């Protein structure tokens, strides 16, 4: 930070007026700029030019001083590099200053020279001071003395500079021929210079104090501190209306902070922030905020420490991203410190809620920084790790569970497992926390692929804790069976089979049958699944589960019918499912759950209600019912049937009076629908009254609001609602909800695209300039809607699939669609993020072998290859292209065996073209040429693909310097197809031909010059 | 100056601090080159400022007015002006928006002032669509306002940046060619007329009508040298650009070099410094572009050094020119195989100027 401030001061000096700049001084500025950018090689060229420039000695000396300044700045900028680098820069600066005195000895009396000489000395002393800590003890004292002497020397130099500046100020009084007001301006300016050098001397003292930080008890340190503070006070007094006083306040604050005098430090930092706006310097104000916040946090004024940084947060403008990140991380640190403080003050008791809040907010802030600016990830993670260990080193289960939950959400399952393990292992912790920790420990194992461990832990929970009292113990039963099944599937070992069967036995034959039925349904064997469930008698303990699962399976089967485009059957099946859900809810109301099934029942009932609600609110369902009415036409009997179907679909009684016509039938449907929604609300209210400890229904209600918002296209309301679901990590349906919100935005974006298209057509036809404005707005709105849709889709896909209600097919299709959408519309999404999403998709779809899915996966792999090429990961791209190419070749061969006239597909050539282009980018021109040639020979001549291949072949020859082949190739094509693929392509060919023509003769072996010139002339004439 | 409490109370009672006279009339101050008029402004158009003072009405030509201190301006309006003059544009923007909604201030000046400066701030911040929207409101809704010609010129400049040269010319022509049918003299103040003419020449260059552009610029330079050397320099710069684009690279390069030399000599740390910096930066960028059009083997390296002058000497102070130089230097570094440096510059460009035209295409592999 010190370096930054010094740089600001030096930079400020650099823009001081330079009267009548000489050419060499101007070039020296350029030289300095290049050095600042670390372009030493280019700076060297400029330096050579400056040295060769003619000029007066004074001008040349001034240029040398300017260059010395450049090297001193370069040393400043290289503060993080090895000291040798900095010293080298300073040595050159020294040389430049000496050259200045050689060229013009008088320059030593010049203020500009004196300042740079002092800067040089100060920088050298600071470097030496920074080395002391690393030196062996024996050398420390010696170097300390040397450095101390250097600082004293530099301070003397500054004193001389100040005396000289004062003399200039004194002389200003005697400037002849000036009016009083002009004279006052001149004197003010001269005095301001004096104040500036005094500030610089004070900063030198400050660096000197840092040297004495190695000897905190040395009386000289105290003397130095007092001298510096007094000097800074002098600057403040002399420069109240200039930015100098801002620096003086800032450094005074820093000195007090060094001495842990918090109240005084606060006083000065506060004053710095209160300087009038016109003299504020953003960099110094920002630095002050950081220092001030740090002091406030140390003084345990955490809220103030956070607030003082708040003005830096919303400044999301170019160049402010890092500043914002730093400010947020420092705020997060203050929040962590606050949490730790609250924990200490709780005296070993349970952690207060306020502590958890600060802790969570701090973590959220760190995560926000990482999301916005990944380069800060390391720092943010280090802060989280440091403070989490400080705060969570206790055995406190709430803290540990919270930390575990964060890691679990971030999919760091192995780290999460370590934390959850602590909770489960601690017998002093109550059962509620232990089962929760244990359940998520098992889940973490499950997601890490450690199924055996997951099965053991969940079995432990299911057998050692009371499932009637602990919901997680109950959930663990199913998890233990799923995990052992996965383990058995993976190993096929006898031991794992025994484990699986033993766990199934424990829950009883009927419960096992339910799990098996669920698996059958998952594989699409709906009839078998339903048969298995039907065999379980109503007297069974698990009958409630049978009813619920039956409804779910029929529901899933309806979906399957829709996918197969058997819509009528689909609708009837869906109506049946709806009735089954309703029956289950009615049955559940009449048959209260027994002991250990209470929680499971609640869970199932809530899910049934949620599904019932979404079906009742489903716009497609209503539209289907009304279509039935329309299809019935005037036939009264059919109209009555349509209304009866609507009543069934809405779980209502049909009206007593048969409809007289279609209008009446529609009116009756409206009444039925309204009654259904009211009935649904009653059911939701009823479940709350039936279960005194009912799980929170809020997420289900939120879900319904989203469904309702979707019907009217109110994306904003749905977006606001869906975020609430994040507070319910156990709610199965969050992914579904995010998907729905994404679809609402996506639908809106498509509508906007339609409007945009209309507007563009209108503008083209009517040439109305005012339409431009509307088009710009529509385009922006469409982009915004797509980008929101994408954000929600990606969020949806990030939710753990094993915890969700969305089936695999839906998920696959959604994933596929999102990747395509990102490809077409995700202009603001980085290619690396897109690649990451594709890799996740490919990982999750690795076992897919259905033909339609394989086709889609390959399409996505083609996009992946394109992204890899874009990000210059050419070897990876080549591998993907080669695999795809081999697969299409094989497919083509197989098809051709069956039908010799079988065509190749466009994608086949797309892949081949991609492969050839990648080979070309890798410099493998011969291989690339071979592939382009294959395309050229295979696709219809004159097609776009053919022309592109022609051009690429031509460029390959150019790269291979086979100019004769390139020219002959174009000449042949030109003879048969003089259009050369259209104007643009023709210009490209012409440009390259002209390039060949301009090459030296020795490179043009085999090229017929005359023919080449004729060809160029012909093409030129045609292009004109 | 510190006011004692009693003096403040007295002044407030007299309505002086609030810019309201004891008779309840608003006291505005019209500032002219050599005098000020304390009065109540009743109308302000691009032609004149009408006022009433002690029951007498009068008017001043707009071209003679340096500025008006409005007696009833809101604190938001004052704060917006201060922020704008200090260069904190995002801050100014928010305050102009607030001033527009603030009921204080007469609408006849508040609306066009605020809308115009909202447009200008957005323009300088690079948000051209927002800028355009505000400026169009001035052009379409305040056809007599002081800022009507200014807004037309700004719209023309926006169109130039977007490459809509014909449309740009239409906006500039509104100002450049408007004459009083009775006197045959330009309606708008001379500086505005010339600014529009220079803009028109830029639009001609955009439409590749180099011959006409060069001939117009020749006339303009001759006229402007006598009355406005600053604008004459702008016209010279355009001339150099036109020459280069017309493939008269050598002449163009020479014109740039002369302009740079002249500008460096004119630098003396005064108020002109910022304008001269911008001019020199544009010249260096123009030289960079010119080198790239040449045939020499070293053209990339030569162009690079020109762009780097802007990057290294002026930095972000020259706003768009800095962005342009970053892009140019990045491309040259890329062409000469210094990929890391190219990537570094592209990174800076993307983070600092995300809306720079064509930024999406700038990908260094």
Higher-scoring residue by pLDDT: B135, A423: B135
Residue A347 pLDDT class (50, 70, 90 cuts) = low
Cα–Cα–Cα angle for A918, A919, A922, rounded to 5 degrees: 90
Residue B271 pLDDT class (50, 70, 90 cuts) = low
The predicted structure's pLDDT at residue B239: 95
Nearest C-alpha in B relative to A17: B269
Query: Could you say which of A17, A30, A39 has the minimum Cβ distance to residue B269?
Result: A17
Residues A816-836: what's their mean pLDDT? 80
Highest mean pLDDT among A414-428, A668-682, B18-32, B103-117 belongs to B103-117
The predicted structure's pLDDT at residue A827: 66
Q: pLDDT at residue A8 above 50?
A: no
Query: Could you say which of B167, B312, B363 has the minimum Cβ distance to residue A36?
Result: B312
Residues of chain A whose beta carbon is less than 8 angstroms from a beta carbon of chain B are 16-21, 23, 26, 29-30, 32-34, 36-37, 39, 42, 45, 277-278, 317-319, 321, 769, 773, 776, 780, 827, 870, 872
- For A841-882, what is each residue's pLDDT tens digit? 888 777 777 777 888 888 889 899 988 887 778 888 899 999
Provide DSSP, A3-14: HHHHHHHHHHHH
- Burial degree of B6 (CB within 10 A; 0-12, 13-18, 19+): exposed
B334 vs A770: CA distance, rounded Å: 41
Alpha helices, DSSP H, located in chain B: 5-13, 75-86, 89-101, 107-124, 128-141, 148-162, 165-176, 190-206, 210-227, 229-245, 249-266, 273-293, 299-309, 319-335, 339-352
Query: Do A413 and A802 contact (CB within 8 A), yes or no?
Result: no
Higher-scoring residue by pLDDT: B260, B356: B260
**Which chain A residues are closer than 8 Å to B363 by Cβ?**
870
Query: Do A291 and A267 contact (CB within 8 A), yes or no?
Result: no
B332 vs B288: CA distance, rounded Å: 10
Instruction: Extract the tokens encoding B353.
Output: 């100027």
A332 vs A383: CA distance, rounded Å: 8
A577 vs A579: CA distance, rounded Å: 5
| Residues of B (14-73) whose Cβ lies below 8 Å from A | none
- For B326-357, what is each residue's pLDDT tens digit? 999 999 999 888 998 998 899 888 887 877 77
CB contact set of A98 (below 8 Å; sequence gap of 6+): none
A340 vs A507: CA distance, rounded Å: 45
Size of interface A-B (CB pairs under 8 A): 60
Q: pLDDT at residue A5 above 90?
A: no
Q: pLDDT at residue A753 above 90?
A: no
A895 vs A902: CA distance, rounded Å: 6
* φ, ψ (nearest 5 deg) of residue A66: -60, -40
Q: pLDDT at residue A18 above 60?
A: no
The predicted structure's pLDDT at residue A442: 92
Least confident of A311-320, B72-81, B143-152: A311-320
Interface probe for A, chosen from B312, B325, B359 (most Cβ of A below 10 Å), is: B312
DSSP state of A987: H
Provide DSSP, B281-317: HHHHHHHHHHHHHS--TTHHHHHHHHHHHIIIIIGGG
Mean pLDDT of all residues belonging to chain A = 82
| Residues of B (73-102) whose Cβ lies below 8 Å from A | 82, 86, 90
Query: Could you say which of A16, A318, A827 has the minimum Cβ distance to residue B351?
Result: A318
The predicted structure's pLDDT at residue A361: 84
B10 vs A8: CA distance, rounded Å: 46
Instruction: Extract the tokens encoding B194.
Output: 């010339």
User: Does any CB of chain A come closer than 8 Å to the CB of residue B341?
Assistant: yes
**Which chain B residues are closer than 8 Å to A317 by Cβ?**
90
Query: Do B204 and B185 contact (CB within 8 A), yes or no?
Result: no
User: With the C-alpha atoms ordered A909, A910, A914, A915, is the resulting torsion angle positive or negative?
Assistant: negative
Least confident of A318-322, A479-483, A724-728: A318-322
CA atoms within 13 A on the CB side of A130: 17
Query: Could you say which of B129, B133, B267 has the minimum Cβ distance to residue A21?
Result: B267
Interface probe for A, chosen from B308, B338, B354 (most Cβ of A below 10 Å), is: B308
The predicted structure's pLDDT at residue A2: 39
The predicted structure's pLDDT at residue A12: 38
A933 vs A937: CA distance, rounded Å: 6
Q: pLDDT at residue B18 above 50?
A: no
**Which chain A residues are closer than 8 Å to B257 by Cβ?**
none
- For B188-244, what is each residue's pLDDT tens digit? 888 899 999 999 999 999 999 999 999 999 999 999 988 888 899 999 999 999 999
Q: pLDDT at residue A16 above 50?
A: no
Query: Do A908 and A888 contact (CB within 8 A), yes or no?
Result: yes
The predicted structure's pLDDT at residue B88: 80
Provide DSSP, A840-870: HHHHHTTT---HHHHHHHHHHHHHHHHHHHH
Least confident of A252-266, A304-318, B283-297, B321-335: A304-318
* φ, ψ (nearest 5 deg) of residue A615: -70, -40
The predicted structure's pLDDT at residue A392: 60
- For A159-171, what is each residue's pLDDT tens digit? 988 888 888 777 7
| Residues facing residue B52 across a β-bridge | B40, B57
B244 vs B178: CA distance, rounded Å: 31
Query: Do B307 and B286 contact (CB within 8 A), yes or no?
Result: no
Q: pLDDT at residue A211 above 70?
A: yes
**Which chain B residues are closer than 8 Å to A827 by Cβ?**
360
Cα–Cα–Cα angle for A776, A781, A782, rounded to 5 degrees: 100
CB contact set of A138 (below 8 Å; sequence gap of 6+): none
The answer to whether the Cβ–Cβ distance between A20 and B308 falls below 8 Å is no
User: Do the strands B28-32 and B36-44 form a parallel or antiparallel pair, or are they unpaired?
Assistant: antiparallel
Query: Could you say which of A18, A19, A30 has the minimum Cβ distance to residue B312?
Result: A30
User: Does any CB of chain A come closer than 8 Å to the CB of residue B336?
Assistant: no
Interface probe for B, chosen from A14, A27, A38, A39 (most Cβ of B below 10 Å), is: A39
The answer to whether the Cβ–Cβ distance between B352 and A318 falls below 8 Å is yes
A297 vs A340: CA distance, rounded Å: 12
Least confident of B105-109, B256-260, B294-298: B294-298
B234: nearest Cα among B278, B171, B296: B278
The answer to whether the Cβ–Cβ distance between B360 and A827 falls below 8 Å is yes
B214: nearest Cα among B168, B183, B248: B248
Q: pLDDT at residue A317 above 60?
A: no
Query: Could you say which of B136, B267, B312 has the minimum Cβ distance to residue A33?
Result: B312
A567 vs B244: CA distance, rounded Å: 68
The predicted structure's pLDDT at residue A7: 43
A419 vs B296: CA distance, rounded Å: 67
User: Do the strands B56-61 and B28-32 form a parallel or antiparallel pair, or are they unpaired?
Assistant: unpaired
The predicted structure's pLDDT at residue B142: 94
Binning chain A into helix, strand and coil, the percentages to the nearest 5 are: 80, 0, 20
A85 vs A35: CA distance, rounded Å: 13
Query: Do A355 and A315 contact (CB within 8 A), yes or no?
Result: no
Q: pLDDT at residue B21 above 50?
A: no
Higher-scoring residue by pLDDT: A846, A750: A750
Query: Do A319 and A339 contact (CB within 8 A), yes or no?
Result: no
Least confident of A571-585, A790-804, A920-934, B84-98: A790-804
**Which chain B residues are closer than 8 Å to A17 by Cβ?**
268-270
Strand ranges across the sheet with B36-44: B56-61, B48-53, B36-44, B28-32, B65-69
- For A671-705, what is each residue's pLDDT tens digit? 888 788 777 777 777 776 776 555 556 777 777 77
CA distance A162 to chain B (A): 23
- For A778-812, what is each residue's pLDDT tens digit? 888 888 888 888 888 888 877 766 555 566 777 78
Residue A228 pLDDT class (50, 70, 90 cuts) = very high
- For B145-167, what is each residue's pLDDT tens digit? 999 999 999 999 999 988 899 99
CB contact set of A80 (below 8 Å; sequence gap of 6+): none
DSSP state of B26: B
- For A495-529, what is each residue's pLDDT tens digit? 888 888 888 777 777 888 888 888 788 888 999 99
Residue A19 pLDDT class (50, 70, 90 cuts) = very low
Query: Do A578 and A615 contact (CB within 8 A), yes or no?
Result: yes
The predicted structure's pLDDT at residue A350: 59
B358 vs B346: CA distance, rounded Å: 12
* φ, ψ (nearest 5 deg) of residue A410: -80, 5
CA distance B355 to chain A (A): 10
The predicted structure's pLDDT at residue A393: 58
Residue A836 pLDDT class (50, 70, 90 cuts) = confident
The answer to whether the Cβ–Cβ distance between A30 and B313 falls below 8 Å is yes
Q: At what angle do helices A567-590 and A598-616 cross, to 10 degrees?
A: 140
Q: For the beta carbon of residue A961, count every other beta carbon within 10 angstroms.
A: 15
pTM over 0.80: no
Q: At what angle do helices A526-534 and A543-563 cross, to 10 degrees?
A: 160
**Tokens 């051009």 belong to which residue?**
A951
Alpha helices, DSSP H, located in A213-281: 219-238, 244-258, 262-273
The predicted structure's pLDDT at residue A766: 76
Instruction: Extract the tokens encoding B6.
Output: 């009693």
- For A705-723, what is each residue's pLDDT tens digit? 787 777 677 888 888 888 8
Query: Do A5 and A250 contact (CB within 8 A), yes or no?
Result: yes
SS3 (DSSP) at B336? coil
Residue A21 pLDDT class (50, 70, 90 cuts) = low
Alpha helices, DSSP H, located in A259-394: 262-273, 282-298, 302-307, 321-345, 353-372, 377-392
Q: pLDDT at residue B24 above 60?
A: no
A1015 vs A1011: CA distance, rounded Å: 6
Q: pLDDT at residue A318 above 60?
A: no
A629 vs A314: CA distance, rounded Å: 56
B46: nearest Cα among B106, B96, B116, B95: B116
ipTM: 0.76
Nearest C-alpha in A relative to B134: A773
A526: nearest Cα among A489, A472, A563: A563
Residues A48-69: what's their mean pLDDT? 82
* φ, ψ (nearest 5 deg) of residue B28: -100, 160
Residue B2 pLDDT class (50, 70, 90 cuts) = very low
The predicted structure's pLDDT at residue B96: 94
Mean pLDDT of all residues belonging to chain B = 85
**Which chain A residues are closer than 8 Å to B316 by Cβ?**
319
The predicted structure's pLDDT at residue B269: 58
CA distance B110 to chain A (A): 24
Query: Could you say which of A26, A37, A321 has the minimum Cβ distance to residue B264?
Result: A26
A264 vs A135: CA distance, rounded Å: 34
Least confident of A318-332, A797-811, A1010-1024: A797-811
**Which chain A residues are closer than 8 Å to B305 by Cβ?**
42, 45
The predicted structure's pLDDT at residue A633: 84
Query: Do A466 and A474 contact (CB within 8 A), yes or no?
Result: no
- For A423-471, what is each residue's pLDDT tens digit? 888 877 788 888 889 999 999 998 888 888 898 888 888 888 877 777 7
Residue B136 pLDDT class (50, 70, 90 cuts) = very high
Residues A570-584: what's their mean pLDDT? 91
């Amino acid at each position: 930070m010190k370096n930054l401030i010094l740089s600001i001061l030096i930079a400020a000096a650099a823009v001081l007026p330079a009267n009548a700049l000489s050419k060499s001084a101007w070039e020296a500025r350029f030289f300095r700029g290049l050095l600042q950018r670390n372009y030493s090689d280019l700076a060297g060229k400029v330096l050579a030019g400056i040295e060769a420039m003619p000029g007066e000695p004074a001008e040349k000396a001034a240029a040398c001083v300017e260059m010395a300044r450049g090297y001193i700045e370069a040393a400043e900028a290289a503060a993080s590099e090895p000291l040798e680098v900095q010293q080298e820069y300073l040595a050159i600066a020294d040389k430049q200053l000496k050259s200045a005195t050689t060229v013009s000895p008088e320059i030593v009396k010049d203020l500009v020279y004196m300042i740079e000489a002092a800067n040089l000395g100060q920088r050298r002393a600071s470097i030496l001071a920074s080395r002391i800590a690393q030196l062996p003890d024996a050398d420390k004292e010696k170097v300390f003395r040397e450095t101390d002497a250097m600082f004293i020397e530099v301070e003397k130099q500054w004193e001389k500079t100040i005396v000289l500046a004062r003399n200039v100020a004194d002389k200003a009084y005697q400037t002849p021929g000036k009016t009083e007001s002009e004279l006052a301006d001149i004197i003010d300016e001269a005095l301001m210079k004096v104040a500036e050098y005094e500030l610089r001397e004070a900063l030198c003292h400050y660096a000197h104090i840092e040297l004495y930080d190695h000897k905190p008890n040395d009386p000289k340190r105290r003397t130095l501190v007092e001298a510096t503070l007094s000097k800074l006070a002098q600057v403040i007094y002399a420069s109240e209306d200039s930015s100098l006083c801002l620096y003086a306040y800032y450094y005074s604050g820093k000195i007090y902070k060094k001495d842990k005098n918090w109240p005084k430090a606060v006083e000065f930092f506060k004053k710095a922030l209160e300087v009038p706006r016109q003299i504020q310097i953003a960099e110094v104000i920002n630095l002050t905020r950081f220092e001030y916040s740090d002091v406030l946090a140390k003084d345990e004024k955490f809220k103030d420490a956070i607030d003082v940084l708040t003005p830096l947060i919303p400044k999301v403008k170019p160049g402010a991203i890092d500043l914002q990140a730093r400010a947020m991380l420092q705020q997060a640190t203050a929040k962590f410190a606050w949490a730790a403080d609250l924990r200490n003050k709780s005296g070993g008791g349970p952690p207060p809620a306020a502590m958890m809040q600060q802790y969570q907010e701090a973590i959220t802030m760190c995560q926000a920084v990482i999301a916005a600016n990944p380069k800060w990830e390391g720092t943010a993670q280090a802060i989280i790790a440091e403070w989490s260990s400080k705060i969570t080193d206790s055995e406190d289960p709430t803290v540990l569970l919270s930390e575990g939950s964060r890691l679990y959400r971030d999919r760091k399952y192995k780290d999460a497992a370590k934390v959850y393990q602590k909770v489960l292992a601690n017998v002093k912790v109550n059962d509620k926390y232990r089962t929760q920790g244990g359940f998520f420990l098992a889940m973490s194992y499950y997601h890490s692929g450690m199924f055996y461990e997951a099965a053991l832990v969940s079995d432990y929970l299911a057998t050692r804790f009371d499932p009637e009292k602990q919901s997680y113990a109950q959930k663990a039963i199913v998890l233990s069976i799923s995990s052992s099944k996965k383990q058995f599937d993976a190993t096929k070992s006898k031991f794992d089979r025994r484990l699986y069967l033993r766990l199934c036995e424990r829950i009883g034959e009927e419960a096992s049958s339910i799990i098996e039925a669920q698996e059958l349904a998952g594989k699409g064997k709906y009839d078998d699944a339903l048969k298995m469930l039907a065999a379980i008698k109503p007297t069974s303990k698990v009958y409630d589960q049978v009813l619920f699962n039956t409804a779910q399976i029929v529901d899933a089967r309806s979906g399957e019918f829709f996918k197969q485009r058997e819509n009528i059957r689909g609708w009837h099946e869906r109506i049946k499912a709806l009735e089954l859900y309703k029956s289950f809810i009615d049955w559940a109301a009449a048959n209260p759950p027994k002991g250990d099934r209470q929680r499971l029942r609640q869970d199932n009932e809530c899910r049934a209600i949620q599904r019932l609600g979404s079906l009742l609110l489903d716009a497609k369902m209503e539209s289907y019912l009304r279509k039935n009415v329309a299809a019935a036409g005037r036939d009264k009997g059919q109209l009555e049937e349509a209304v009866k179907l609507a009543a069934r679909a809405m779980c209502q009684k049909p009206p007593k009076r048969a409809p007289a016509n279609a209008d009446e039938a529609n009116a009756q449907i409206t009444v039925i629908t309204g009654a259904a929604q009211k009935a649904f609300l009653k059911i939701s209210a009823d479940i709350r009254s039936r279960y005194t400890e009912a799980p929170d229904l809020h997420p289900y209600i939120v879900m319904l609001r989203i469904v309702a918002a979707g019907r009217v296209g109110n994306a904003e309301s749905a977006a606001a609602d869906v975020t609430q679901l994040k507070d319910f990590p156990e709610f199965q349906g969050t992914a579904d909800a995010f998907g729905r919100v994404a679809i609402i935005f996506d639908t809106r974006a498509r509508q906007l695209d339609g409007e945009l298209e209309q507007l563009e057509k209108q503008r083209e036809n009517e040439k109305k300039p005012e339409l431009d404005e509307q088009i710009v707005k529509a385009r922006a709105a469409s982009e915004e809607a797509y980008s929101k849709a994408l954000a929600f889709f990606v969020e949806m896909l990030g939710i753990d699939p094993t915890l969700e209600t969305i089936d695999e097919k839906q998920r696959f299709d959604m994933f596929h669609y999102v990747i395509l959408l990102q490809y077409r519309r995700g202009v603001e999404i980085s290619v690396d993020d897109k690649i990451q999403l594709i890799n996740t998709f490919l990982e999750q779809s690795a076992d897919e072998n259905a033909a339609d899915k394989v086709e889609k996966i390959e399409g996505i792999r083609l996009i992946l290859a394109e992204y890899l090429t874009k990000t210059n990961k050419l070897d990876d791209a080549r591998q993907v292209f080669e695999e795809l190419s081999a697969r299409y070749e094989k497919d083509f061969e197989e098809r051709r065996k069956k039908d010799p006239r079988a065509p190749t597909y466009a994608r086949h050539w797309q892949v081949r073209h991609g492969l050839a282009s990648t080979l070309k980018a890798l410099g493998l021109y011969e291989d690339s040429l071979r592939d382009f040639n294959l395309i050229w020979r295979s696709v219809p001549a004159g097609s776009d693909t053919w022309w592109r291949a022609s051009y690429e072949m031509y460029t390959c020859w150019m790269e291979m310097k086979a100019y004769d082949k390139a020219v002959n190739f174009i000449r042949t094509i030109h003879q048969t197809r003089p259009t050369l693929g259209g104007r643009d392509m023709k210009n490209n060919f012409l440009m390259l031909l002209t390039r060949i023509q301009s090459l030296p003769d020795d490179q043009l072996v085999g090229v017929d010059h005359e023919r080449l010139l004729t060809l160029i002339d012909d093409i030129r004439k045609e292009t004109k | 100056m510190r006011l004692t409490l009693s003096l403040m109370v007295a002044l407030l009672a007299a309505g002086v601090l609030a810019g309201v006279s004891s008779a309840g009339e608003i006291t505005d101050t019209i500032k002219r080159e050599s005098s000020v008029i304390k009065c109540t402004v009743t109308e302000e158009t691009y032609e004149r400022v009408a006022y009433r003072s002690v029951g007498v009405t009068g008017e001043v030509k707009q071209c003679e007015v340096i500025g008006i201190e409005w007696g009833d301006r809101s604190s938001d309006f004052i704060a917006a002006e201060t922020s704008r003059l200090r260069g904190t544009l995002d801050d100014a923007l928010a305050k102009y928006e607030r001033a527009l909604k603030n009921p204080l201030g007469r609408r006849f000046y508040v609306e066009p002032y605020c809308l115009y400066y909202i447009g200008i701030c957005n323009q300088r911040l690079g948000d051209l669509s927002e800028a355009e929207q505000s400026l169009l409101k001035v052009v379409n809704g305040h056809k007599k306002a002081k800022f009507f010609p200014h807004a037309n010129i700004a719209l023309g400049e926006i169109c130039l940046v977007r490459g809509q040269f014909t449309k740009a010319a239409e906006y500039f022509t509104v100002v450049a060619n408007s004459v009083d049918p009775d006197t045959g003299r330009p309606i708008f103040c001379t500086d505005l007329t010339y600014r529009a003419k220079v803009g028109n020449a830029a639009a001609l260059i955009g439409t590749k009508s180099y011959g006409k552009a060069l001939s117009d610029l020749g006339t303009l330079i001759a006229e402007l040298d006598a009355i406005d050397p600053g604008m004459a320099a702008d016209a010279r710069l355009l001339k150099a650009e036109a020459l280069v684009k017309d493939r008269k690279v050598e002449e163009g390069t020479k014109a740039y070099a002369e302009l740079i030399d002249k500008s460096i000599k004119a630098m003396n740390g005064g108020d002109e410094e910022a304008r001269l910096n911008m001019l020199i930066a544009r010249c260096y960028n123009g030289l960079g572009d010119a080198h790239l059009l040449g045939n020499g083997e070293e053209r990339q390296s030569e162009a690079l050094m020109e762009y780097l002058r802007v990057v290294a000497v002026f930095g972000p102070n020259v706003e768009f020119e800095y962005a342009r130089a970053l892009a140019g230097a990045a491309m040259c570094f890329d062409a000469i195989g210094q990929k890391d440096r190219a990537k570094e510059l592209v990174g800076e460009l993307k983070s600092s100027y995300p809306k720079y035209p064509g930024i999406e295409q700038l990908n260094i592999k």
